[in-house]
Amino acid sequence: MEGECRGCGKRSPLIPAVLSACADCIRTRPAEVLPAILESHGQIRREFDLPAEAPRTGDGVECPLCANACRLGEGEIGLCGLRTVQGGRLVHLAGTPRGALVSWYDDPLPTNCVADWVCRGSQQRGMVNLAVFYEACTFNCIFCQNWHFRLKHPPGRISAQRLAAQAHSRTFCVCYFGGDPTPQMPHALATSRLLAKRGVTVCWETNGSMHPRLLDQAVELSLQTGGCVKFDLKAWDENLHLALTGVSNRQTLANFRRAARRIAERPDPPLVVASTLLVPGYVEADEVGRIARFIAEIDPTIPYALLGFYPHCFVPELPCTSVRHAQEAEEAALAAGLTRVRIGNRHLLSHDY
C-alpha cells in the first residue's frame, strides 16, 4: 500500500501514514510537513496518558534531567511521565535511588548487544549480563521495538539497592537500556556505584539526551569498570530526527562529542560505541554517511553498528531493511572515514525493495 507525501505529492510504499512525508521533504520543507508529523507524535503520546509535548509553563519549575527541559506548572506531568510539580516543587514520581520503573533479567554471555563485537563481555562464556530495562523514555520513536513497556499498569518499582542485589557470582556486567535510562538516571547511577564496588562492568545503551553532568557520571563509571556507553544516533538531520522521534538531536550529538573526549583515557575496550537503525526510506546511505562523518571527525576508530529494521510500533507498513540498503550504508560509513563498521541484526535483512 502506497503512502503520499503531503509535501511533494510523491507516492511510495516507503511513506508510512504516521509521517505522510518523504525524507527529502522533511529535510528541505520542514515548515510544510513537520507540524502535522509533530501532531501525530502528540496523538501517540496521549494514547499512553503522556503530554502531547514538553510543557513550557512560563512560571513553572524546570526539570533539569534531560534535553526536553520541561517547565512544569502545578500538577503538570513531564514528557517522560515521571515528573510533576506539587506545592511549587518538582516531584519525582519514579527514577530516584528509592525506586524506579524497571525490569531486569540475566542475559547469558555472549549476548546480542550493540557492542558485542568490541566489548569484553563477548569473551565471558558462562557469565551473565544483568540486563536492566528502564520503563520510561525521553523520545517518542515511531519505530520503538520496546514500546510495550508503556502498556504496563502499574509497572513495578524497585530501589537501587535492591536492583544491585540482583547481581551474583556470575554477573560480569550490567547494561541499562529501555525505553531509556535517561529519565531515571539518578537511580541508574546509584545502582551502578553499588555494582562497581562489586567489580561489575557498567554499560549504557541510550539516546544520549541526559543532562551533561549526568552523562559525565555515567562515563566515569564505565571508564572505571571497563564498560562502554552506546549511543543510538537515530539521524543526523535535526528535522528528520524530529519526525522520527518527536525530539531534537542537538543534546544527543553534543553529549556524544562530550563522552568521546575521554576515549584516549582507555582505548580498549572502546569507551564510546555508536549505532544507527536503518529505517527504509528515511535512514538510508546518505543519512548514515552524514552521521559517520560526524563520528569520524571526532575519532575514526569509534565502533559503529548499523542495525536492521523490522516493521514495528507505528510504522508497520515499512519493510525490513534490505541487504542492499545495509551494504550501501556500510560503504557510506567506511567512505566517511570510519575504520570499524559492522552490520548487525543480519537475520532481519531482506532481499526486497
Domain boundaries in the chain?
53-93, 100-348
Distance CA 73, CA 315 (A): 34
Rounded to whole angstroms, the Cα distance separating 184 from 189 reads 9
The sign of the dihedral angle between the CA atoms of 270, 333, 274, 278 is negative
In whole angstroms, what is the distance from residue 257 CA to residue 237 CA?
Answer: 16
Distance of CA 332 to the CA centre of its chain: 22
DSSP 239: H
Distance CA 293, CA 303 (A): 13
Q: What per-residue confidence (pLDDT) applies to 112? A: 85
Q: How far apart are CA 99 and CA 161, in angstroms?
A: 9
What are 197-230's pLDDT values in tens digits? 999 999 999 999 999 999 999 999 999 999 999 9
**Of the candidates 63, 72, 67, which has an alpha carbon nearest to the alpha carbon of residue 210?**
67
Instruction: For 77-135, write each residue's pLDDT tens digit.
Output: 999 999 999 999 999 999 999 999 999 999 999 998 899 999 999 899 999 999 999 99
Output the nine-digit C-alpha cell for 340: 570499524
Identify the residue whose cell numbers are 509535548: 53
Q: What is the distance between the alpha carbons of residues 210 and 186, in angstroms, rounded to a whole number?
A: 11
pTM (predicted TM-score): 0.96
Torsion-angle region of 337 (φ positive above 0: left; ψ -120 to 50: alpha; else: beta): left
Predicted pLDDT at 1: 73
* pLDDT, average across residues 30-43: 98
Supply the pLDDT for residue 155: 61
> Is 100-348 assigned to CATH 3.90.950.20?
no
Average pLDDT over the chain, rounded to an integer: 96
For residue 234, pLDDT beyond 80: yes
| pLDDT band, very low/low/confident/very high, at 153 (cuts 50, 70, 90) | low
Above 80 in pLDDT, residue 352? no
pLDDT tier for residue 149 given thresholds of 50, 70 and 90 = confident
Q: Say yes or no to pLDDT of 2 above 90.
A: no
Q: How is residue 256 annotated by DSSP? A: H
Could you tell me which residues come within 8 angstroms of residue 146 by beta carbon, excluding any fewer than 6 positions away?
A: 133, 178, 179
The whole-angstrom separation of Cα 185 and Cα 146 is 19
Q: Would you say 137 and 80 are in contact if contact means Cβ atoms under 8 Å apart?
A: yes
**Contact, 266 vs 223, CB < 8 A?**
yes
| Positive or negative torsion for Cα 111, 295, 330, 290 | positive
* Span 250-274, pLDDT tens digits: 999 999 999 999 999 999 999 999 9
pLDDT value of position 151: 84
